[in-house]
Amino acid sequence: MKIIPSMESVVAELEGTLVKDPDPFSYFMLIAFEASGLIRFTLLLLLWPIIRFLDSVGMKDAGFKLTTFIAVVGVRLSDIESVARAVLPKFYMDDVDMDAWRVFSHYDKKVVVTKTPRVMVERFLKDHLKADEVIGSELVVNRFGYAMGFVLDVGSDSGRVAKLFGDETPSLGLGGSSINDSNTFLSLCEEQCYPPFNTTDKLLNGHRDLNRPLPVIFHDGRLVKRPTPFIALLVLLWLPIGVVLAVIRMLFGLILPFWLVPYVTAIFGGGVIVKGKPPASSGGVLFVCTHRTLMDPVILSYVLGRRIPAVTYSISRVSEILSPIPTIRLTRDRHVDAERIKKELGRGDLVVCPEGTTCREPFLLRFSALFAELTDNIVPVAMNYRVGFFHATTARGWKGLDPFFFFMNPRPIYEVTFLNQLPAEATCSSGKSPHDVANYVQRILAATLGFECTNFTRKDKYRLLAGNDGTVSNAKSSWLLGSIRKVVSTCKPFIH
């Protein structure tokens, strides 16, 4: 196989080649769940046996068209694009065949051919696999911006590849092992290559670092695992149990004494792993935590056995009302926020997450330096968590449900690692700038968790995932606030 990249080109199939799974069904399940909801998700799963039957009798086009129709009919194109931008890249990245990627990445002109609608894959392929062109199916969309459930007849893949290259001939074609290259784009290429792909150190020698695609740092969506038919069935069977379990767990968290919560948590399947030695309560300690979910300050309070107020930047009013610990909402006005934090520290301990927003992947966002200006009594705390079915964070959805989704998991696990209090020479009192202190705390927390430090901020995350600056709108949850306040006021006599 000739791989000498000097303005040479490669054409690769997506399904079964660049990604390992030759069946895009699970990605349509993600579109159904995230862009439409549970009903469409369930319907598509119920039709899966029919789709498999059509595939088995040689009617793969019919099975694919049925899958596409059920997944997208009546869904806004903008919603499909949103899921393709915020949700799908993570799952595609987890399924990338790294050997195929190493071959693909060595060429100057990179083209991907896929049967999946282009709108679903183009963002991932261009942003993370650095594809130059994507040849895929095209959805039919009406003048109101809704998908009709059909795909346009845009010609064969080989015809579209030939038109794209004109008089040129692609240097290499990468295709699945089941492809008949006489009837596909592979017949147009000078050479063909099929999995398994054999890459060697000699192949990589003398070129830039192409060992890994651009990582997915930010992603959204509620599902932790890619919903293959088996995983989707497990999720649906677990949902009613998870809802009941979440209600029970949240109620116990509200009405039980803090010292008793960890023991009850273990009974109902949860777990908290504590490492390091928690500091003695001396008052005025600022706990600086990594930000993994909305539950970080709550879990820290449970571990310490006392309610410690938490600084919040932009959370749902519903979450504030249901919170078992006091919350101090900041305004993002630096002077006003500094005064509020100083005032709270004068009363006792305080929790702050200087990243300003959560990140699911093993990366830490840039730390705001404000905390370093206000006190030298700083205790870094490395927080991390593990869940099985549902993510407890969202950028596009309703944040008020974040704690509920966390507790819906069969066995949510939190890890809390206490680091030593910052020595005087590492604080601003020794002459260091607030930014130096913040960067130092970020580095030691990242090293503790095995994470990487980044310069990304909350705005970077929300602009990518949601197309906004991350400010929570409370209008859509206002209808629920009155009834929640009544429930909470009724429970207050039982809350310790």
Would you say residue 152 lies in a domain? yes
pLDDT at 486 (0 to 100): 40
pLDDT at 198 (0 to 100): 73
CA 263, 269, 274, 280 dihedral sign is negative
pLDDT at 472 (0 to 100): 52
Judgement on whether residues 351 and 437 belong to the same structural domain of the protein: yes
Distance CA 84, CA 28 (A): 11
Q: CA neighbours within 13 Å on the CB side: how many for 114?
A: 27
Structure tokens given for 316: 């749902």
Would you say residue 19 lies in a domain? yes
Helices (H), 47-87: 48-56, 60-72, 77-86
Using left for φ > 0, alpha for ψ between -120 and 50, and beta otherwise, residue 76 falls in beta
Judgement on whether residues 51 and 100 belong to the same structural domain of the protein: yes
Q: What are the pLDDT digits (tens) for 302-358?
A: 899 888 999 987 777 777 777 889 888 888 788 998 999 999 999 999 999 999 999
Q: Are 100 and 174 in contact (CB under 8 A)?
A: yes
Structure tokens given for 464: 């990518």
- 15 SS3 class: strand
Which of 187, 204, 221 is the C-terminal boundary of a domain? 204
Burial 387-396 (b: 16+ CB within 10 A, else e): bbbbbbbbbb
- DSSP code per residue over 435-462: HHHHHHHHHHHHHHHT-EE----HHHHH
Single-letter residue type at 319: S
Judgement on whether residues 240 and 197 belong to the same structural domain of the protein: no
Using left for φ > 0, alpha for ψ between -120 and 50, and beta otherwise, residue 284 falls in left
Judgement on whether residues 178 and 70 belong to the same structural domain of the protein: yes
Would you say residue 2 lies in a domain? no
Residue range of the domain that includes 369 = 236-494
Would you say residue 212 lies in a domain? no
How many domains is the chain built from? 2
DSSP β-bridge partners for residue 386:
413
Judgement on whether residues 108 and 186 belong to the same structural domain of the protein: yes
Q: Are 371 and 442 in contact (CB under 8 A)?
A: no
CATH number at 156 reads 3.40.50
Would you say residue 324 lies in a domain? yes
- The total number of residues shown for the chain amounts to 496
Which of 183, 204, 225 is the C-terminal boundary of a domain? 204
Of the candidates 315, 273, 322, 308, the residue with the CA atom closest to the CA atom of residue 294: 315
Judgement on whether residues 411 and 309 belong to the same structural domain of the protein: yes
Would you say residue 304 lies in a domain? yes
Against a cut of 0.85, is the pTM above it?
yes
Judgement on whether residues 242 and 187 belong to the same structural domain of the protein: no
Would you say residue 218 lies in a domain? no
pLDDT at 44 (0 to 100): 97
Which of 146, 181, 204 is the C-terminal boundary of a domain? 204
The parts of the chain modelled with pLDDT lower than 50 are 1-6, 201-209, 474-496
Judgement on whether residues 143 and 256 belong to the same structural domain of the protein: no
DSSP state of 258: T
Of the candidates 321, 309, 301, 312, the residue with the CA atom closest to the CA atom of residue 256: 301
Q: Are 128 and 110 in contact (CB under 8 A)?
A: no
pLDDT at 183 (0 to 100): 63
